[in-house]
A = this chain, B = another copy of it.
Amino acid sequence: MKIDRTVVRSLALFDRTSDGDLDRLLAHATARRVAQGDVVFAQGEQAVCFYLLLHGRLKVMQVTEDGQQIIVRVVHPGDLFGFAKALQRPDYPGTARAATDSVIISWPTDLWNHFVEQNPRLAVSAMQTIGQRLEEAHTRIREMSTQEVERRVAHAVLRLSRQAGRQEEHGIRIDFPITRQDIAEMTGTTLHTVSRILSAWEERGLVAGGRQKLTVVDVPGLRLLAEGARD
């Protein structure tokens, strides 16, 4: 599949990369379409490639030994993912599955160190990307340690509306199919609790739900909840 250079060029990751360097990077890259539900790589697999999402959405999941599942993160267009080599790991720590039809680029992992060493500015960019991800993880830890479930869910939904929201007539619609179960796995709770919370919010006119759909109707109202307003 042909790589659309204008799309790649516009990504923040390559802000400071020269056209020449970009060409050299793309020379070794492969683009690929993945259909909704397809797995890009599975937990425990040998890490043969690292990836960049051009279009669509992916969910990265982990399963624990006892079969419990959590969503580690949602991959948005422009995000690097599956860079196990940066973590000194031979295998992928999670499974990446397309939440909607998507387009990805991949490189062989062997090239990671090479690219980073040849291309220090890219190294800085990549490091900032990972750094941001680390900060997100710490935010999540902080929320899970100190906040009750409803606030955590409120934060998660607001984050999704920011990162994957599309303005629609009645509010901001999360632009990919997402289940209550997904939200539960993102916030460390159960689908039952999420369902109850969303029902209550719908009652109060904060959101509008539906099967695998979610639209935030009243952003300020939700934000108030997220910031921990008492009653």
What residues of chain A have their CB less than 8 Å away from a CB belonging to chain B?
62, 64-66, 68, 70, 72, 83, 86-89, 93, 113, 116-118, 120-121, 123-124, 126-128, 130-135, 137-138, 140-142, 144-146, 185, 188, 227-228
Nearest Cβ in chain B — how far from A162, in angstroms?
A: 17
Q: Is the CB of A146 within 8 A of B70?
A: yes
Most chain B CB inside 10 Å of its own CB: which residue of A133, A137, A228: A137
Determine the chain B residues whose CB is within 8 A of the CB of A135 once the complex forms.
Answer: 87, 89, 93
- The residue of chain B having its C-beta at the shortest distance from the C-beta of A135 within the complex is B87
Q: Is the CB of B131 within 8 A of A64?
A: no
Most chain B CB inside 10 Å of its own CB: which residue of A128, A134, A144: A134
Determine the chain B residues whose CB is within 8 A of the CB of A87 once the complex forms.
Answer: 128, 131-132, 134-135
Determine the chain B residues whose CB is within 8 A of the CB of A70 once the complex forms.
Answer: 141-142, 145-146
Copies in the complex: 2
Given A86-B127, A117-B124, A132-B88; A144-B141 close (CB under 8 Å): yes
Determine the chain B residues whose CB is within 8 A of the CB of A142 once the complex forms.
Answer: 62, 64, 70
Given B72, B120, B188, which contacts A138 in the complex, CB threshold below 8 Å? B72
Q: Is the CB of B121 within 8 A of A120?
A: no
Determine the chain B residues whose CB is within 8 A of the CB of A227 once the complex forms.
Answer: 65
Nearest Cβ in chain B — how far from A128, in angstroms?
A: 5
Q: A87-B131, A117-B121, A134-B137 are in contact. List 19 more A-B contacts (CB 8 A).
A: A62-B142, A70-B141, A70-B142, A72-B138, A72-B141, A87-B132, A88-B128, A93-B135, A113-B124, A127-B127, A130-B130, A130-B131, A130-B134, A133-B134, A140-B141, A141-B141, A141-B144, A144-B145, A146-B188
Nearest Cβ in chain B — how far from A100, in angstroms?
A: 24
